[in-house]
């Protein structure tokens, strides 16, 4: 018997990854496969569920073969996923009835406005910690049930299963035996009462999602079944599940109230641990479940930036400013400031703390002297400024971090990290283990399998990496934020 290992599946917005970790937290191997998003109409974003599943299966199979060949014994699997993205499938065949509607999708904005005008938002905030926004799953699931002929009746008859990506992947991994989710993913649907810890009948009725179509909610570390032996030539225990940002919070070792991290992927997600205290935000941040372990809930408060790494992809693919995403650093560094340019990246609206689904992106302040370098720098600054707005909102909600841990692709950009620490006026810390999301999923699997005895033992696996210190004076910081907020106001509709 070889050294034990944990397998993490990270099903994201632009790719699926499989990663293996040793019991001591060392990254042993990784496999990644990208896929394309689908844009059937302006503001609509979809994924083919079969493509999602195919990339999950391909990457995990390949990595498992490598780990076995290297002599490792994989003892458990952890799953983390893009949150809010919604899928409906047939319970008998396992076939999706429609493409997945992605978290970025804005098609249900009008329905959210109608519900808000009818006075339902305060009830939603009180029960779920969320807001009436197309970002969350409830209106997406309802849209699919209404758009596909016969789907609503079939769901009410118990013939269809509804869920977020984790539920669909679990269904496929277990050969249709498990229709499950964890508390962190359930808390992102706008159908789950995070105070009572259950699907809420009144919310299900309000949004038009039959409760019987929803998955059973379990602890984030525990028994989610075993994989179908035909998939991996063995029945591998699935012992941990969490939404990607909650997994990253754990993977960053943010276990104490006030600990905060921001993950910079396709979007950017600032999450702060609030312990057993559910914080109701006065600044339009959302309350959520970080994880539930052994029946005990840990809460968090969160702000979501809808466009972060996707801005870099847009500059690369649509404008052709560079051929590889990492080239943005050198290009942006060649500019002497942003030249008065501000890029407001409201490609799919604005998330927290603005919540404006109808805002659209703009580049403001262009002059004949503006060039590629200034636009690239403005793109990085846009993500920095949005993070500043979230930290300010967090502070006003009496959750005031003194240090921000960051991860994700943009955390490898040293210029971005220095801009971020300068504008925040606080240290920014990158972890020794940059793959915090997958690492968090592996830690949950280790907890669920009994490899680790406690969260404290998990936290001991985290090690700091590079630390960035601010060097900008308060006056320059205030002037830069004022200019950003002026640009922001020009694209807002609310």
Q: 121, 275, 286: which is closest to 206 by C-alpha?
A: 121
Task: Give the total number of structural domains in the chain.
Answer: 1
Read off the pLDDT band of 383 (50, 70, 90). Answer: very high
* pTM of the full structure: 0.89
242, β-bridge pairs: 80
135 in a structural domain: yes
Task: Label residue 201 exposed, middle or buried (CB < 10 Å: 0-12, 13-18, 19+).
Answer: exposed
239 in a structural domain: yes
Q: Has residue 1 got a pLDDT over 60? A: no
Question: Model confidence over 267-318: pLDDT tens digits?
Answer: 899 999 999 999 888 888 999 999 999 999 999 999 989 889 989 999 999 9
441 in a structural domain: no
Domain membership of residue 115 as a residue range: 4-243
Q: What is the pLDDT of residue 94?
A: 94
Q: Has residue 193 got a pLDDT over 70? A: yes
Read off the pLDDT band of 355 (50, 70, 90). Answer: confident
CB 250 within 8 A of CB 440: yes
- DSSP letters, 210-258, are -GGGSPEEE-SBS---B--HHHHSS--BEEEEEEHHHHHHHHTT--STT
238 in a structural domain: yes
Q: How many CA within 13 A on the CB side of residue 155?
A: 28
Q: What is the pLDDT of residue 304?
A: 87
> Rg of the Cα trace of the chain?
22
168 in a structural domain: yes
Q: What is the pLDDT of residue 35?
A: 94
First to last CA, the chain: 61
192 in a structural domain: yes
Q: What is the pLDDT of residue 299?
A: 96
Read off the pLDDT band of 398 (50, 70, 90). Answer: confident
Q: What percent of the chain has pLDDT over 90?
A: 79
Question: Model confidence over 408-425: pLDDT tens digits?
Answer: 889 999 999 999 999 999
368 in a structural domain: no
199 in a structural domain: yes
Which residues, at least 6 apart from 138, have a Cβ–Cβ distance to it below 8 Å? 189, 190, 191, 203, 207, 209
300, β-bridge pairs: 273, 288
Read off the pLDDT band of 357 (50, 70, 90). Answer: confident
Q: Has residue 210 got a pLDDT over 80? A: yes
Which residues, at least 6 apart from 42, have a Cβ–Cβ distance to it below 8 Å? none
Assign residue 231 the CATH number of its domain.
3.30.420.40
* pLDDT, greater one: 351 or 391: 391
Q: What is the pLDDT of residue 266?
A: 84
Q: What is the pLDDT of residue 348?
A: 82
Computed over every residue of the chain, the mean pLDDT equals 93
- What's the Cα-to-Cα distance from 197 to each of 48, 186, 294, rounded to whole Å? 31, 9, 13
Strands (E), 306-365: 342-344, 362-364
Report, as an integer, the average pLDDT of 453-477: 89
Dihedral sign computed on CA atoms, order 481, 484, 485, 486: positive
């Amino acid at each position: 018997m070889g050294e034990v290992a944990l397998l993490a599946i990270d099903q994201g917005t632009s790719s699926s990854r499989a990663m293996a970790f040793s019991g001591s937290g060392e990254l042993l191997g990784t496999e990644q496969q990208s896929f394309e998003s689908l844009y059937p109409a302006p503001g609509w974003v979809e994924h083919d569920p079969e493509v999602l599943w195919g990339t999950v299966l391909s990457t995990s199979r390949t990595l498992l073969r490598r780990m076995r060949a290297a002599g490792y014994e994989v003892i458990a699997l952890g799953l983390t996923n893009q949150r809010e993205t919604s899928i409906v499938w047939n319970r008998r065949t396992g076939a999706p009835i429609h493409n997945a509607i992605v978290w970025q999708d804005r098609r249900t904005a009008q329905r959210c406005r109608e519900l808000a005008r009818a006075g339902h938002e305060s009830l939603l905030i009180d029960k779920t910690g969320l807001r009436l926004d197309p970002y969350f799953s409830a209106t997406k699931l309802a849209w699919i049930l209404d758009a596909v002929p016969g789907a609503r009746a079939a769901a009410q008859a118990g013939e269809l299963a509804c869920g977020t990506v984790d539920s669909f992947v679990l269904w496929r991994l277990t050969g249709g035996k498990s229709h499950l989710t964890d508390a962190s993913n359930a808390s992102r649907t706008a159908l789950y009462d995070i105070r009572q810890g259950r699907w809420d009948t009144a919310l299900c009725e309000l949004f038009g999602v039959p409760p019987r179509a929803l998955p059973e909610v379990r602890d984030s570390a525990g028994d989610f079944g075993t994989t179908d032996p035909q998939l991996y030539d063995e029945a591998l225990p699935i012992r941990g599940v969490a939404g990607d940002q909650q997994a990253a919070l754990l993977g960053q070792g943010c276990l104490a109230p006030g600990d905060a991290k921001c993950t910079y992927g396709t979007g950017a997600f600032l999450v702060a641990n609030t312990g057993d205290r559910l914080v109701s935000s006065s600044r339009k941040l959302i309350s959520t479940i970080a994880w539930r372990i052994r029946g005990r809930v840990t809460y968090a408060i969160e702000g979501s930036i809808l466009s972060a790494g996707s801005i870099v992809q847009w500059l690369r693919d649509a404008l052709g400013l560079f051929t590889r995403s990492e080239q943005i650093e050198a290009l942006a560094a060649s500019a002497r400031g942003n030249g008065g340019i501000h890029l407001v990246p409201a490609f799919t609206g604005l998330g927290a703390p603005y919540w404006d689904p109808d805002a659209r992106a703009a580049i403001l302040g262009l002059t004949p002297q503006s060039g590629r370098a200034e636009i690239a720098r403005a793109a990085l600054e846009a993500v920095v400024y949005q993070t500043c707005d979230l930290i300010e909102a967090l502070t006003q909600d009496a959750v005031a971090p003194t240090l921000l841990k960051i991860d994700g692709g943009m955390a490898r950009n040293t210029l971005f990290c220095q801009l971020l620490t300068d504008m925040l006026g606080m240290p920014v810390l990158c972890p020794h283990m940059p793959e915090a999301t997958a690492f968090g999923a592996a830690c949950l699997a280790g907890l669920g399998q009994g490899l680790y005895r406690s969260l404290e033992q998990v936290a001991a696996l985290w090690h700091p990496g590079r630390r960035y210190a601010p060097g900008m004076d308060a006056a320059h910081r205030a002037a830069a934020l004022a200019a950003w907020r002026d640009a922001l106001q020009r694209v807002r509709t609310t």
